[in-house]
Amino acid sequence: MKIVVIGTGYVGLVTGTCFAESGNDVTCVDINADKIERLNQGEIPIYEPGLTELVKRNSAAGRLKFTTDVAECVPGARCVFLAVGTPMDEDGSADLSGIWAACDSVAPHLEEDAIIICKSTVPVGTNRKVYERLKKSLNREVHVASNPEFLKEGCAIDDFTKPDRVVVGVMTAEAAETLEELYKPFLRTEHPFLVMGLESAEMTKYVANCMLATKISFINEMANLCEVVGADVNEVRKGIGHDQRIGFQFLFPGVGYGGSCFPKDVRALMATASEHQVSSQLLQSVDNVNKSQKCVLFEKIQRFFGSELKGKTIAIWGLAFKPRTDDIREAPALTLIDQLLEAGASIRAHDPVAMDNVKSVYGDKITYCKHQYETVEGADVLAICTEWNEYRTPDFNFMKQQLKSQAIFDGRNLYDPQKMFARGFYYSGIGLKQPKSTEA
């Protein structure tokens, strides 16, 4: 099948590459000529495990191409995916200017049987507006579909090629049949292909992400309560997770969620609710809890030093919002860095892949260390913001020798408090019960 993907960001690049891997003829389009040139040279603009190899293999086979020329590739295409960014406006709503620009650019070149499929996360009702815009522009009927993505950064290839479900919102049976044929190679394990209306598909994306964000904020709030009443959130998590109605997924306490999806989608759904005069108290609380949770590590460090942080050196492990990605959008580490800098502290930071992105934000305001152990040399304390695997079993003896205060503030609960106390550390996690001899 001939496919065109408009947009070579995270979703567009993964979508186009995976469709090419299943034998389709795919062209990815972007208005950024420099990005297209880099892609044609085999340079991948994002970090995603396995993606580089897939892009190179399918490009070499001629199934995957990159261009800035819409007029060259859209004619003859059966499916045209819109995978452009929908960033958050100041009021929390989604900026749809990229969607409208993409619609207008492809409209003159669409075949009569072409299907326009929106992969971008858009407010409810957007696909209906896409249909009306294209119908007016072309003065004929068009096929429009919604196909929300459920990709986790760091696991996107597996999520796309082995989905737990595929959701499509359609207006015609023909569009549904074509998309089912397109996704059939990825649904061989009997996972469902769910067909619904346009608005239901759009809503499904938001509701899924908002539900997951709610679970994270809930367990974080409970972790904070556990810590002050003497309970251990890890024990509580096990106690509730074995309840099949609750489960364990997204019940790991930490320093809040980040990335491009959860914060944006929670606020976008709140904006949609407000637009329709519907209360969104729960979503507002989820957002507020998450904002507060990003401040927890700073507050712990500040209390440890008696509120005086000026002149202190803080080592930070982990800058990306989650492991296996270089994405720092809404990353809790950035909130910590901002607060520490404002308090007059110095920062020595490490991340396996995200340091260049952080450097583009902070420049020489912080020190970037090539190795995780460089961060603790001369530092007063260590703060952990991202649960990269290489941080899970470090050389504690070396760290104890280097850290002036021999204290670790762990925003991801990587270590056992009792064992850390036995090693001679002051150790503070999220919602963990401290050994009695370390309690105030």
| Strand, helix or coil for residue 426 | strand
- pLDDT score, position 112: 95
Q: Is the pLDDT of residue 91 over 90?
A: no
| Percent share of the chain, pLDDT over 70 | 99
Q: Of 89, 67, 74, nearest to 138 (Cα)?
A: 74
Confidence of residue 437 (pLDDT cuts 50, 70, 90): low
318 forms beta bridges with none
- pLDDT score, position 439: 46
- pLDDT score, position 438: 47
Confidence of residue 172 (pLDDT cuts 50, 70, 90): very high
Query: How confident is the model over 331-350, as a mean pLDDT?
Result: 98
Q: Is the pLDDT of residue 307 over 80?
A: no
Q: How would CATH label the architecture of 206-292?
A: Orthogonal Bundle (1.10)
Q: Is the pLDDT of residue 327 over 50?
A: yes
- pLDDT score, position 94: 87
CATH of region 2-196, choose from 3.40.50.300, 3.20.20.60, 3.40.50.720, 3.20.20.10: 3.40.50.720
Instruction: Please return the burial class of 239, using the count of CB atoms within 10 Å of its CB with bins 0-12, 13-18 and 19+.
Output: exposed
Confidence of residue 190 (pLDDT cuts 50, 70, 90): confident
Q: Is the pLDDT of residue 82 over 90?
A: yes
Q: Is the pLDDT of residue 280 over 60?
A: yes
| Percent share of the chain, pLDDT over 90 | 94
> Is the distance from CB of 426 to CB of 304 less than 8 angstroms?
yes
Tell me what the pLDDT averaged over the chain comes to.
95
Query: How confident is the model over 185-197, as a mean pLDDT?
Result: 93
Query: How confident is the model over 364-379, as a mean pLDDT?
Result: 97
Query: How confident is the model over 262-283, as a mean pLDDT?
Result: 95
Confidence of residue 71 (pLDDT cuts 50, 70, 90): very high
Annotated binding site for NAD(+): 30, 35, 86, 121, 153, 264, 329
Poorest-pLDDT segment among 126-135, 175-184, 372-381, 427-436: 427-436
- Tell me how far apart the alpha carbons of residues 205 and 161 are, in angstroms, rounded to a whole number: 18
- pLDDT score, position 440: 38
With the CA atoms of 162, 166, 172 and 177 taken in that order, what torsion angle do they form, in degrees rounded to the nearest 10?
A: 30
CB under 8 A, 24+ apart: contacts of 185-192: 185/22, 185/23, 186/18, 186/22, 186/160, 186/161, 186/162, 187/163, 189/162, 191/163, 191/164, 191/165, 191/166, 192/165, 192/166
- pLDDT score, position 93: 82
pLDDT tens for residues 133-170? Answer: 999 999 999 999 999 999 999 999 999 999 999 999 99
- Tell me how far apart the alpha carbons of residues 382 and 340 are, in angstroms, rounded to a whole number: 13
Same CATH fold assignment for domains 2-196 and 206-292: no
- Tell me how far apart the alpha carbons of residues 196 and 124 are, in angstroms, rounded to a whole number: 13
Query: How confident is the model over 213-241, as a mean pLDDT?
Result: 97
Annotated binding site for substrate: 150-153, 205, 250-254, 258, 322
Q: What is the per-residue DSSP string for 304-316?
A: HTTT--TT-EEEE
Annotated binding site: 30, 35, 86, 121, 150-153, 205, 250-254, 258, 264, 322, 329
Query: How confident is the model over 393-420, as a mean pLDDT?
Result: 97
For the entire predicted model, the pTM comes to 0.92
Q: Where are the domains of the chain?
A: 2-196, 206-292, 294-438
- Tell me how far apart the alpha carbons of residues 133 and 102 are, in angstroms, rounded to a whole number: 12
Q: Which residues are catalytic?
A: 261
The CATH number assigned to the domain with range 294-438 reads: 3.40.50.720
**Amino acid letter, residue 314:** I
